[in-house]
Structure 1
Amino acid sequence: MIAHLAGIIAAIALLLLVVFISIFLVRITKTMGEVNKSLSSITNDVDALSHETEKIMANANELLKDVNGKVASIDPAFQAMGDLGQSVSDLNAATRELTAKVGKGNEKKSRFTSASKVGKAAFDVYRNRRNKNNEED
């Protein structure tokens, strides 16, 4: 009888194990079904994104070609502006040099003018004295 009782307990334990394993397998099956649906949805979304990305890349390449063409057509204008800036800089340097030369010339001229004024004043004084001396005689 104890052997029968042990057999019954073992059968019940085996039955419980089978029930729990079957519940576990059912849940795993449902989970795997959801995973398959999710993967299918993700695959479709990735395909759609891939097509959109290809379109965007094609548009970006066309835009880049257009911008490069426009930049190439604008380059001569920038070169001309650079040359104009250099010309203005050269003109400023030449003006500074001319101003410096004229300033030095004016300095010499002002010395000469001052000396001539002193000489003229001295000559006027000399002439006035001579005229006075001639009038007194």
Structure 2
Amino acid sequence: MTAGGIAALIAAVAFAVLVIFLVKVLMKVDKTVASVQTTITEANNTIRVVTKDVDVLTREVEGLLVKSNELLQDVNQKVATIDPLFTAVADLSESVSELNYSGKNLVSRLGTLGRTTAQATIAGKVGQTAMKFFNQRKQTED
């Protein structure tokens, strides 16, 4: 074997080792690609299912929003109907307060009138008694 034959043999062995190494790497790459492909398929299936579920949820949410808006309009209409009632109750409360104040003033005036009447009655009795006394005295002097 010559130096050229040995070099060719070394080159052949090196090439065989390189081919074996490349085959192993390519097999691992093939497994990785297959795994990625499976993952992508599962992801696509999941996205389809989620999309369908989101579509259903979107329709249901739209229905709920429509119902919520209708209920809100109904409540607003009822509140608008009740507002005059609260205004009337407030006016009535004010009228009752004024009536109460007027009643207190009337009672106060009647109390003052009663005291004045009582004083006048006492003064009248005193005057009657004085007149009787003077009339009796005048009759006894005559």
Letter in structure 2 aligned against 1:94: S
Distance apart, 1:33 and its partner CA: 0.8
Name the counterpart of 1:51.
Answer: 52
Secondary structure of 1:87's counterpart equals helix
The structure number with the bigger radius of gyration is 2
Aligned residue number for residue 125 of structure 2: 124
Deviation at 1:135, TM superposition (A): 4.5
> 2:32 matched to 1:23?
no
Q: Distance in 1 between matches of 2:94 and 2:22?
A: 96
Gaps of 5+ in 2: none
* Range with bigger deviation, 98-107 or 62-71: 62-71
Q: Percent identity?
A: 18
- CA shift, 1:128, in A, is 2.6
Distance 1:120 1:13 in 2: 147
4+ residue segments displaced more than 4 Å = 10-14
TM, length-normalised to structure 1: 0.76
Q: What whole-Å deviation, never above 9, does each CA across 1:62-119 have from its counterpart, x for those lacking one? A: 3332343344344432222222122111110111122112222322232222122112
Could you say if the C-alpha distance between residues 33 and 117 of structure 1 is closer, same or farther in structure 2, counting changes exceeding 3 Å? same
1:81 counterpart = 2:82:
yes
**Runs of 5+ unmatched residues, structure 1:** none
Distance 1:17 1:94 in 2: 108
Looking at structure 1, the residues matched to 7 and 92 of structure 2 have their Cα atoms a distance apart, in angstroms, of: 119
**Letter in structure 1 aligned against 2:113:** F
RMSD over equivalenced CA pairs, Å:
2.8
AA aligned opposite 1:30: K
Query: C-alpha displacement at 1:5, in angstroms?
Result: 7.1
**Structure 1: distance between partners of 2:66 and 2:116:** 75
Matched, 1:98 2:99: yes
Q: Give the counterpart letter for 2:51 in structure 1.
A: S
CA positional deviation for 1:40: 0.9
| Alpha-carbon distance in 1 for matches of 2:101, 2:71 | 46
